[in-house]
Amino acid sequence: MHDQKRSWAPLLLAVALASCTVGPNFAPPAAILPPVWQSAAPVSASTDARWWRSFDDPVLDALEARAGSANLDIAAVIERITAVRIERGQARAAGAPQVEGQAGYSRERIGTAGIASVTQTLLGVTPTTTPPKGVDFDLYSAGVGASWELDLWGSHRRHAEAAQASVEAIEAAARGVRLSVEAEVARTYFQLRGLSDERRIAQDGVALAERNATITRALLTRGLATPIDVAATEEKLRALHGDIVELDHQAATTQRALAILVGGTPDTAPFDRTTLRPQSPLPAAAVRVPSEVARTRPDIVEAEARLHAATAQIGVAHADFYPKISLTGLFDIDVLNLADFGWNARSTSIGPSLSLPIFSGGRLQRQLDLRRSEERSAALAYRQTVLNAWREVDDALSASRAAADRTSLFDRDLASRRRTVAMVEARYARGDIAASPLLDARQAALSAELAIVRQRVATALAHIQLHRALGG
Supply the CATH number for residue 335's domain: 2.20.200.10
Q: How many domains does the chain have?
A: 2
Edge-first strand order for the sheet with 324-335 is 98-111, 134-149, 324-335, 346-355
Burial class (CB in 10 A: 0-12, 13-18, 19+), 432: exposed
Domain that holds residue 69: 28-95+151-321+366-470
Q: What single DSSP character describes residue 317?
A: H
Cβ distance 13 to 303 under 8 Å?
Answer: no
The reply to whether 6 falls in a domain is no
Instruction: Give yes or no: residues 237 and 215 share one domain.
Output: yes
pLDDT tens digits for range 325-361? 999 999 998 888 888 888 888 889 998 988 889 888 8
Does any domain span residue 72?
yes
What type of residue sits at position 51?
A: W
Q: Is residue 246 part of a domain?
A: yes
Strand partners, 334: 141
Q: How far is CA 404 from the centre of its chain?
A: 31
The crossing angle, in degrees rounded to 10, of helices 435-470 and 363-430 is 160
- Indicate whether 57 and 138 sit together in one domain: no
Per-residue pLDDT of the chain (472 residues; tens, 9 = 90+): 445 444 444 444 444 445 588 989 999 998 888 877 776 655 555 556 788 998 999 999 999 999 999 999 999 999 999 999 999 998 888 888 899 999 998 988 776 666 656 565 665 656 666 666 667 888 899 999 999 988 889 889 999 999 999 999 999 999 999 999 999 999 999 999 999 999 999 999 999 989 888 888 888 888 877 888 889 888 999 999 999 999 999 999 999 999 999 999 998 888 888 888 888 777 776 677 787 888 889 999 999 999 999 999 999 999 999 999 999 999 998 888 888 888 888 889 998 988 889 888 899 999 999 999 999 999 999 999 999 998 999 899 899 889 989 999 999 999 999 999 899 888 888 877 888 888 888 899 999 999 999 999 999 999 999 999 988 8
Contact indicator for 183, 460 with CB cutoff of 8 Å: no
Q: At what angle do helices 155-221 and 435-470 cross, to 10 degrees?
A: 180
Residue 361 lies in a domain: no
Long-range contacts of 251-259 (CB under 8 A, 24+ apart): 251/192, 251/195, 251/196, 251/199, 254/188, 254/191, 254/192, 254/195, 255/192, 257/188, 258/63, 258/185, 258/188, 258/189, 258/192
In a 3-state reduction of DSSP, which class is residue 151? coil
Q: Is residue 211 part of a domain?
A: yes
CA dihedral 83, 86, 91, 96 (to 10 degrees): -170
DSSP secondary structure of 322-352: S-EEEEEEEEEEEESSGGG-SGGGEEEEEEE
Task: Answer yes or no: is 126 within a domain.
Answer: no
What is the number of alpha carbons within 13 Å of residue 429 lying toward its C-beta? 6
Same domain, 219 and 349: no
pTM for this one?
Answer: 0.83
**Domain shared by 340 and 244, yes or no:** no
Do 162 and 310 lie in a common domain?
yes
Consecutive H or E run containing 401: helix 363-430
Distance CA 351, CA 148 (A): 11
Looking at residue 144, what DSSP letter applies?
E
- DSSP state at residue 55: G
- What is the distance between the alpha carbons of residues 64 and 32, in angstroms, rounded to a whole number? 33
Q: Give me the long-range contacts of 72-77 (CB less than 8 A, separation at least 24).
A: 72/263, 73/177, 73/180, 73/181, 74/174, 74/177, 74/178, 74/181, 77/170, 77/173, 77/174, 77/177, 77/178
Say whether both 145 and 62 belong to one domain. Answer: no
Query: Does residue 391 share a domain with residue 267?
Result: yes
Under 8 Å CB-to-CB from 163, ≥6 apart: which residues? 84, 87, 88, 90, 91, 92, 309
Looking at residue 401, which CATH number applies to its domain?
Answer: 1.20.1600.10
3-state secondary structure (DSSP) of residue 127: coil
Asked whether residue 37 falls in the same domain as residue 140, the answer is: no
CB 270 within 8 A of CB 260: no
Judgement on whether residues 141 and 255 belong to the same structural domain of the protein: no
- Residues 163 and 299 grouped into a single domain: yes
Residues 314 and 332 in one domain: no
Same domain (yes/no): 340, 228: no
Q: What is the pLDDT of residues 11-30, one digit of tens each?
A: 444 444 455 889 899 999 98
